[in-house]
Each structure stands twice: as structure tokens, then as C-alpha cells.
Amino acid sequence: MFVLLKMLQYHGFQALGFLCISLTSLGLYFLFVYKNTEYPLLTLALWVSTIFLLQRRIARGRTCAEVNTTGRMRGKTVIVTGGNSGLGLETSRSLYRMGAHVIMACRDPRRAQRAADDIRRASVSDGGQLTLLSLDLASRKSIEVFAGDLMKREGFRLDILVNNAGIADAPYGHTEDGWETLFGTNHMGTYYLTHLLLPLLLASKGRVVNVGSAGMILFLPLQNAHTLDLASIAKVESESHYHSRRQYAYSKLCNAIHAQELQKCYGDRGLTAVCVHPGNVISPMSLGFNRRLFAVSDSVNALMAKTILPLVCQTAVEGAQTTLHCCLHDVVGGGYYADCMLMPGHVPHVTFIGSRGERGLTLSELTNSLWKLQ
Ligand SMILES: NC(=O)c1ccc[n+]([C@@H]2O[C@H](COP(=O)([O-])OP(=O)(O)OC[C@H]3O[C@@H](n4cnc5c(N)ncnc54)[C@H](OP(=O)(O)O)[C@@H]3O)[C@@H](O)[C@H]2O)c1
């Protein structure tokens, strides 16, 4: 019940609800109107197009107010992890168009190059710059090389770190540092990257925007008073204890709590940290999930992405709006945002326990200790 009430506050789920109402109204139309009207096809066409337009309007969600302001980001440097695909690509594109120096931090140089070429070809920028840097969040070494490179650059200023990269599904396995792949990428890697870049972010009184997900609450009610043992989640020692959706939900919950803790620790030094839920977005990630869930072929999946899904989901451009809102506007530090709005009370309170059963430790204390950081 708690989960349902929370979920209904997201516009993606409202779009799903509206679709049910639309289909019911269409059924009622056939029952009561179609046979009794003089112009059945005309009224049907009007009915369907009205429903379609309303449905699309609800699914699209809000647009970030300043997203097309020329030169709005001139002089700002933003790192977008996973900038080559889906939401990250559209976030990079918009920031570049508004004049930012966008550092696209991607794990595959060829995909990154293709994305950067696409952005440059299709966008006119007011002084924007694109830099491609290699970053694999599933590798401590890669994160250190990435951060080390930026820290060494003389006079380098970092204004915003958009922690966007993530995976939603992975077969049971571990990163080279021993973390379960999904959690290791989404939380452990993101956390470590932010930790290494903190001196730069503090120097500029910068901003951290974590891309989370409303799905973070899905597995909590089953937990004993929302108690999480971080070490077990980070390592998942046996395959029988592995559940990819649960790992994803936990990793996204950690993204949200990470933003809150950053704000608490460094807010008085000028840092602003927030977490966003982008919406239900049509992207390579969600399409991959779709393909497995409905066991459909690539062509059926692609057809769904162009026909049915836009009725209840956002495009990547629409989904990037909340991230952009949090980059461009004044935001409440530690806040959780969806559909370009603050969503108070949406991040559940969680008690973390240490490996020896200690209680009351923060997520940062536990993650630092897993990474063996000071
Ligand atoms: N789509 C949705 O409906 C939805 C809903 C809620 C939250 N989100 C969140 O939104 C974010 C972006 O997702 P998306 O939908 O845009 O998915 P996407 O198109 O699959 O993009 C994910 C990006 O993360 C990168 N990535 C994955 N593993 C990485 C690693 N180890 N190191 C560096 N980069 C890595 C991917 O690189 P490659 O291209 O090389 O794989 C890709 O660029 C994710 O954090 C996701 O959890 C999405």
C-alpha cells in the first residue's frame, strides 16, 4: 500500500493510470456511442486523437524551464558519466548547446566518439566544448586514472558532477575489485568517483546530481525495519542470494542517501548534492529490460518503443529534464527530484548495519570502510 501510494505520485505511473482510463473510455465509446452516432468514424477518430494527445502530454512530464537558454552554461564544466547513451547523451547534448564544457565520461571510447560526433553534428553550441574521457565505474583503477587526470590539470574547475551512468541488469558476477557487478557499478563506483573529485567540487562550491530511481523503494517493505547490511549487498557471496532487481533498487537507494549525506557533510562548505528520478524513460537500459521481461525480439521491441511505449514513457530528451533542472536551477540541497519538482519524504529512512552487527553507521562510513578510505 505504502509503495503504491508513493508510486502514484510519479507522473510515469499517472500516465499508466490514465492509459487504463483511456482504454476503458474507448470500450464505453464502442458500447454506447459508436452504433448510435451518425458519423461513427469521425467521432472515433476525434475520440482517439484527443485521448492520444492527452496521454502523450501526461507521459511527457515537465520541461526544465531554462533548457534552451543560449549561453546559460558558458564557463561551466560538467562531468556526465555514461554521457554516450540514453539520458546521459541527452543531458550532455543540452548542456553543450547551452555553452558548457561537457566531459563525457564513458567506458567505451568508440561509443563515446560516436555520441560526441552526433552531438556536434546536430547541435549549435554557444561556446560549448566536449571532452571524451575514459571511465569504467566497475574498476577502481579506471576511476583513479580518470580523477587523477583531472586533478593534475592546472587551473581545472569542476562545477557539476552528474552521476548518471548505471546498469539495471547484469548476470551474477563481480567487478575486478570484488563488488557484485550491479551494485559495484551503480553505488560503489559512483561513490568512489565522487569521493576523489570532492576537492574539485568543494573548490568551486559545485554540485553533485545523482541519477537515482523511484524503484529504490520496491524491495524495502520486505526488509526488517528497513535494515540493510551494506557489506553483504556489496559483495553478494553466492548466486542463490542474487536478485538483480533488488540489487538495482538498493543501489539506487544508496544514490539517494549518498546525495543526502554529501549535503549534510559538505553543504556548509558550499556543495549542493541532490538525487533525481528521471521517469520511465525509453533508453537502451529500459529496452533491454523490456526485451527480457516480455521475451520479445529486437524488432518487436523497437516497434513498441515507437508505438505503445511513448504513451506511458518519456523519450530520453524528456527524461533528461529533471537532471537538467537540477543542473540549471536553484535546488534544495539533499533533495530528491522527479518531473522537475522536489519530492519531499520520498527517500525512505534506512538503518545500516556493519559487518559485526553495529548499528547507526552512515552509508558513507560503511562505503568508506569497504573501499578502505580514510
Ligand atoms: N531508463 C529509465 O527508465 C530509468 C529510470 C530510472 C532511473 N534511470 C537511471 O538513469 C541512468 C541512465 O540510464 P539510461 O536509461 O540512460 O540507460 P543507458 O542508455 O543504458 O545508459 C547507461 C549509461 O551508463 C554507462 N555505464 C554502464 N556501466 C558503466 C560503467 N561500468 N562505467 C561507466 N559507464 C557505465 C553506459 O555505458 P555503455 O553505453 O558503454 O553501456 C551508458 O552510457 C541510470 O543510472 C539509470 O539507473 C533510468
- Cα(201)–Cα(161) distance, integer angstroms: 8
Q: How far is the CA of 78 from the centre of ligand 1 (A)?
A: 17
For the residues 88-116, what does the mean pLDDT come to?
Answer: 97
User: What residue ranges do the domains of the chain occupy?
Assistant: 2-60, 77-279+314-371
**34 band by pLDDT with thresholds 50, 70 and 90:** confident
Give all strands of the β-sheet with 336-338 in edge-to-edge order: 129-134, 101-106, 77-81, 160-163, 207-211, 272-277, 336-338, 341-342
pLDDT confidence of residue 218: 85
Burial (CB count within 10 angstroms: exposed 0-12, middle 13-18, buried 19+), residue 280: buried
Let me know: does 58 contact 18? Beta carbons within 8 Å.
yes
The mean of the pLDDT values for the chain is: 92
Residue 75 has pLDDT above 90, yes or no: yes
Q: Given this model, what pLDDT does residue 16 score?
A: 87
Tell me the per-residue pLDDT of 177-214, one tens digit each, with 9 for 90 and over. 999 999 999 999 999 999 999 999 999 999 999 999 99
The pLDDT confidence band at residue 175, using thresholds 50, 70 and 90, is very high
Cite the beta strand spans of 213-349 per DSSP E: 227-229, 272-277, 336-338, 341-342
- pTM for the whole structure: 0.94
Pocket lined around ligand 1, Cβ cut-off 6 Å: 81-82, 84-88, 106-108, 111, 135-138, 164-168, 185, 211, 213, 277-278, 280-281, 283-286
Residue-level pLDDT at 304 = 87
**Ligand 1 center to residue 34 CA distance, Å?**
46
Counting ligand 1 atoms within 8 A of each CB, the residue from 84, 91, 102, 107 with the most, and so the one to mutate, is 107
Residue with CA at minimum distance from ligand 1 atom 8: 213
- Lowest mean pLDDT of 4-13, 84-93, 244-253, name the range: 4-13
Q: How far is CA 140 from CA 137, 143, 191, 363, in A?
A: 7, 5, 11, 19
Is the per-residue pLDDT at 132 higher than 60?
A: yes
**Cα–ligand 1 centroid distance for 150 (angstroms):** 22
pLDDT of residue 224: 55
User: Distance between CA 255 and CA 167 in Å, rounded?
Assistant: 13
Is the CATH number 3.40.50.720 carried by domain 77-279+314-371? yes
